[in-house]
Amino acid sequence: MDLSQILFQAQKEARELKNIQQWEDLYRKYLGKKGKLSDALVALKDLTVEERKKQGQAINHFKQELTQLLAKTQDQLRGSLKAGQRFFDVSSPAVKIPQGHGHPIMEIRRQMEEIFGSLGFSVIEGQEVTSEYYNFDALNIPGDHPARDAMDTFWLGQNNQRSESMLLRTHTSAMQVPYMECHQPPFKIIIPGMVYRYEATDASHDYQFYQLEGLMIDRDISIANFKGVIDVVFQRIFNRQIKTRLRPGFFPFTEPSFEIDLSCVKCQGKGCTLCKQTGWLEIMGAGMVHPNVLRSAKLDHSGWQGFAFGMGLGRIAMIKWGIDDIRLFFSGDLRFLKQF
Partner 1 sequence: MLFSFNWLKQYIDLTNISAQKVGELLTLHSFEVESIKKNGSDWILDIDVLANRGHDCRCHLAIAMELAAILEKKPKQHYQNLTSQKIALARGKLRPINIKVQSNKQVPRYAALVIENIKVAASPKWLVGYLEAIGGRSINNVVDLTNYIMCEVGQPMHAFDYDKILALSPEREMIVRLSRQGEGVVTLDGVERELTAGILVIEAGKKLIDLAGIMGGQVSEIGPETKNIILQASCFDGPTIRRATKLLGHRTDASDIYQHNIDPNLADLALGRSIHLLKEMTGPVRVVQKIDFYPEKKIAKQIKLDLAQANSLLGVELSRDKIIQILQSLDFVVQKSNSGGKSIVVLAPTRRLDVVMPEDLIEEIGRIYGYKKIPAKMPYINLALPEINQQAAYKNQVRRSLINWGFNETINYVFTDKSSSLALPLQNPIAKDKICLRMNLIPGLAQNIKNNLKYFSAIRLFEIGRIWCQNLNQNKQLIIHEKESLAGVLLSSDGKEPFFLLKGFVENLIQSFGISDIWFDDALAKDESAFLENDFNVRALAQIKIGDRLLGYCGELRDFAGSIAVGFELDLDVLTQETISERMYEPLAKYPSSVRDLAILAPPETKVGQVLAEINESNVLELVDVDLFDLYQGEELDDKKNLAFHLIFQSSKKTLTDREVDIFMAKIIKNLQEKGWEIRR
Q: Region of 209 please: left (phi>0), alpha (psi -120 to 50) or beta.
A: beta
Site for partner 1 in 82-121 (CB under 8 A): 97-103, 105-106, 110, 113, 117, 120-121
**Interface residue with partner 1, options 13, 24, 137, 255 (CB under 8 A):** 255
Residue type at 202 in one-letter notation: D
- Determine contact, residues 192/211, Cβ cutoff 8 Å: yes
Per-residue interface string for the shown chain with partner 1, residues 284-323, x marking contact by CB under 8 A: ----x-xx-------------x------------------
Residue type at 248 in one-letter notation: P
3-state secondary structure of 110: helix
**Interface residue with partner 1, options 1, 42, 129, 203 (CB under 8 A):** 129
Q: Which is nearer to partner 1, 69 or 246 (CB)?
A: 246
CA atoms within 13 A on the CB side of 47: 13
Using CB under 8 A as the binding rule, whether residue 62 contacts partner 1 is answered as no
Using CB under 8 A as the binding rule, whether residue 337 contacts partner 1 is answered as yes
CA distance 112 to 212: 9
75 contact partners, CB below 8 Å, separation of at least 6: none
**Interface residue with partner 1, options 24, 65, 128, 325 (CB under 8 A):** 128
Burial 47-68 (b: 16+ CB within 10 A, else e): eeeeeeeebeeebeebbeebee
3-state secondary structure of 73: helix
CB 221, min distance to partner 1, A: 6
**Interface residue with partner 1, options 253, 258, 304, 309 (CB under 8 A):** 258
Annotated binding residue at 213?
Answer: no
Q: Which stretch binds partner 1 (CB under 8 A): 51-59, 87-95, 143-151, 170-178?
A: 143-151
Using CB under 8 A as the binding rule, whether residue 179 contacts partner 1 is answered as no
Q: Which is nearer to partner 1, 188 or 319 (CB)?
A: 188
Site for partner 1 in 145-174 (CB under 8 A): 146-147, 150, 154-159, 161-163, 166, 168
3-state secondary structure of 79: helix
CA atoms within 13 A on the CB side of 149: 3
Strand ranges, E, within 30-132: 122-123, 129-131
How many residues bind partner 1 (CB under 8 A)? The answer is 81
CB 142, min distance to partner 1, A: 10
Site for partner 1 in 188-247 (CB under 8 A): 188, 194, 196, 198, 207-208, 210, 216, 218, 220-225, 227-229, 231-232, 245-247
Q: Select from 210, 153, 214 the least CA-distant residue to 179.
A: 214
In total, the chain counts a number of residues equal to 340
Q: Which stretch binds partner 1 (CB under 8 A): 53-61, 66-74, 251-259, 317-325?
A: 251-259
Q: What's the Cα-to-Cα distance from 288 to each of 12, 59, 231, 301, 304, rounded to whole Å? A: 83, 94, 17, 12, 11
CB 182, min distance to partner 1, A: 12
User: Which residues fall in the annotated binding site?
Assistant: 255
User: Which residues fall in the annotated binding site for Mg(2+)?
Assistant: 255
